[in-house]
Amino acid sequence: MTSSRSPEADWGQWLWVSLPGDHLDEEDVRWLQQVRPGAVVLFSENGTRAQDVQKLVSGIREALAPSDVWIAIDQEGGRVARLKEGVPSLPPARVLGDGDPAEIYRSALNLGMALRRTGIDIDFAPVLDVDSNPDNPIIGDRSFSRDPWQVARLSMAFSHGLEAGGIIPCGKHFPGHGDTLLDSHLALPSVGASADSLVEREFLPFEMGIQEGIPILMTAHVLYPALDKRWPATLSRKIMTDMLRKKWGFRGLLLSDDLSMAAVGKPFPFSVVVERSLAVTCDGLLVLKSREKPLEALKIIRSLAARNPGLWRARLEKTLMRRAVIEKRIAAYRKAAERIL
C-alpha cells in the first residue's frame, strides 16, 4: 500500500494521543485537526459511562472526517479499567475465570462486544507479562500467572475473545515487564536476568502470541542488559528490530508505551526518544496526557523527514502497510456491529 496523499497529511499517523475531558470544545477540534493522529486513547477523564463515551467517540470521528481515526482504551479488568458503567466489570487477570480458558474467552467476548457498541476499536489487553517478581509495583495481579505457560494459554484465550467480540487486542509489555522492581511511569527499570532466563520465562507468552497472530504489541520501557546494555526495549534496535521483527517474524503493529513516562523521558532527550522509537520499527508512538508533546513530536518527525525525505517516507510506508491490514479488520468489525445494532 502506498499512500496517495502528501507526506504532510500522513506524519501524524504515527501519533497516538489523548484528550483532556469528556467532550470536545473548539480548541480540541483544532488540535486534533492539526495533529491528525493515527489513534485517540481514552482515559477515565474522558468519561466512565459507555453511553457518554460513545458520544465523545462520534465527535472525535466527525472532527477528523473524512480521514479515519482509531479509538483505543485500557480495559484489562481489575485496577486497570477506564469504563465503569455500560461494560462488563472484570476482576484482575489473576483471578479471571478461575483460570479456565473457556470462561476467560467468554468474559473477553462479552467485554469486546460492549466496547464495540461504544465505538472503541482497540483494547490495550491482554497483559502478556509473567508475574516473575512478587515485589513488582506495576504488574502483580494484572498478570494471569507466575507460570509463563499459563500466561501464554490464558492471555491468548482473552485475546481471541476480544477479537470475537469485534475488538483488536494489543499484547503488552514486550519483551516482559514482570521481573521489575520499579514502575516505568516513575523511573527506568532494569531486569538483570540472563538471556537464557528471559527466553524460558518472559519471552514465552509473546512468542506464543505471535504464533497465534496477535495483531498489536506494546513495548516495555525497561532495560535488559543481557540483550542491550544501553537502550531500553522501546528504543533498542537489538530487541525490536533484530529480535522481534527479524528473528521472531512479527509483522503486526508495534506501539511504544507512553513516551511521556519517566523511564524514557528522564534519561533521553525527547527528540532521541521519538527518532529511535520510529527507527527501531514502532508504528505508533503513544504521546499522552499532553497537548504540547504530540505537537513537539510532529515537529521532530517533520524535521527528520526534511533532512532525509526518502528514508522517512519509506519508513512511514511500512507503518501504513501494517495499519492497512488492521484497518480492514476494524472496518469489518464496525460493519458487523452496525448490522447488529
Which residues are catalytically annotated?
185, 257
∠ at Cα 123 (259, 39), nearest 5°? 55
| C-alpha cell read off for 282 | 514502532
For residue 294, count other CB atoms closer than 10 A to its CB.
25
β-pair type (15-17, 80-81): unpaired
∠ at Cα 309 (308, 314), nearest 5°? 110
CA separation for the pair 337, 329 (Å, rounded):
12
Helices (H), the chain: 7-10, 26-35, 50-64, 101-118, 148-164, 195-197, 204-211, 262-265, 270-279, 292-307, 309-340
**Of 151, 159, 58, which is closest to residue 107 (Cα–Cα)?**
159
| C-alpha cell read off for 285 | 508512538
